[in-house]
Amino acid sequence: MTRTALVTGGTRGIGAAIARALSEAGHQVVVTYQGNDEAAAAFTRDTGIPASKWDVADFEACEAGVAGVEAEHGPVDVLVNNAGITRDGTLHKMSAEDWDAVIRTNLTSAFNMTRAVINGMRDRGFGRIIQISSINGQKGQMGQANYAAAKAGLVGFTKSVAQENARRGVTANVVAPGYIGTEMVAAVPENVLEKIIGQIPVNRLGEAEEIGQAVAYLASDAAAFVTGSTLSINGGQYMV
């Protein structure tokens, strides 16, 4: 069945792979991004998937953005909250701005976007909400108190949304990727990356497509009995 799926931060990296996987699964996909028009245009050119620009950290922008998407493409039945940023630094040096930016973009965004679609999903009796968290939200990470807090926060948020909406046909789940070879990871110094790969039992970085396939499953009708769960995809680096 063709459904409309909205993927935040879907123009690059993991989000782009998720958008492609959902499209291959037969969904009508729309992606969002924040500022990189060039990447968005290239993505749309390659895939035919339209991209809309707004800041997921801004509540009103999310309300207006979702309304625009729904007017053009129909009700959003699948929401993937993927957009995220890092502003790393040890806590004793972390600025309030870096704390706020990471919490707002990685966690408050999930509230903003989910709030914008949840009533429609409840009314229609179907919905799939999928958050992209991180291994570092599960185990903590030096230099990422802000990011780990935001990514761990997504788990409690999702379990609550899952409980509130289970009887309305709406599931909510978390995917927690380990280290995936994207631009975000390319920013990690090479010697640090070597150490990280040494800690991954399968001895490689993950691929964005491996996250895309998992999200496509959670978005499917077949996953109707999966809700409130966290799927770790990390090559065995952290087992919970």
Which residue intervals of the chain are DSSP H helices? 13-24, 37-47, 59-73, 96-103, 109-124, 135-139, 145-165, 183-186, 190-198, 208-219
Binding mask 6-25 for ligand NDP (x = CB under 6 A): --xx-xxxxx----------
The answer to whether residue 220 forms part of the interface with ligand NDP (CB under 6 A) is no
Tell which residue, 132, 117, 237, has the closest CA to residue 178. 237
**7 or 162: CB nearest ligand NDP:** 7
| Cα 109–Cα 177–Cα 99 angle in degrees, nearest 5 | 40
**61 or 226: CB nearest ligand NDP:** 61
Give me the least distance between CB of 163 and ligand NDP, in Å please: 23
Asked if residue 9 lies in contact with residue 15, where contact means CB atoms within 8 angstroms, the answer is yes
Task: Catalytic residue, from 33, 147, 179, 217: name it.
Answer: 147
**Judged by CB under 6 A, which of 23, 52, 82, 144 binds ligand NDP?**
82
For residues 103 and 57, give the distance between their C-alpha atoms in angstroms, rounded to a whole number. 9
The answer to whether residue 174 forms part of the interface with ligand NDP (CB under 6 A) is no
Q: Is 33 a catalytic residue?
A: no
Give me the least distance between CB of 9 and ligand NDP, in Å please: 2
For residues 79 and 195, give the distance between their C-alpha atoms in angstroms, rounded to a whole number. 34
DSSP string of 73-126? H--EEEEEE---------GGG--HHHHHHHHIIIIIHHHHHHHHHHHHHHHHT-
The answer to whether residue 157 forms part of the interface with ligand NDP (CB under 6 A) is no
Give me the least distance between CB of 197 and ligand NDP, in Å please: 12
**Judged by CB under 6 A, which of 4, 158, 182, 227 binds ligand NDP?**
182
Which positions are annotated as active-site residues?
Answer: 147
Q: Which residues bind ligand NDP (CB under 6 A)?
A: 8-9, 11-15, 32-36, 39, 55-57, 82-85, 105, 132, 134, 177, 179-180, 182-185
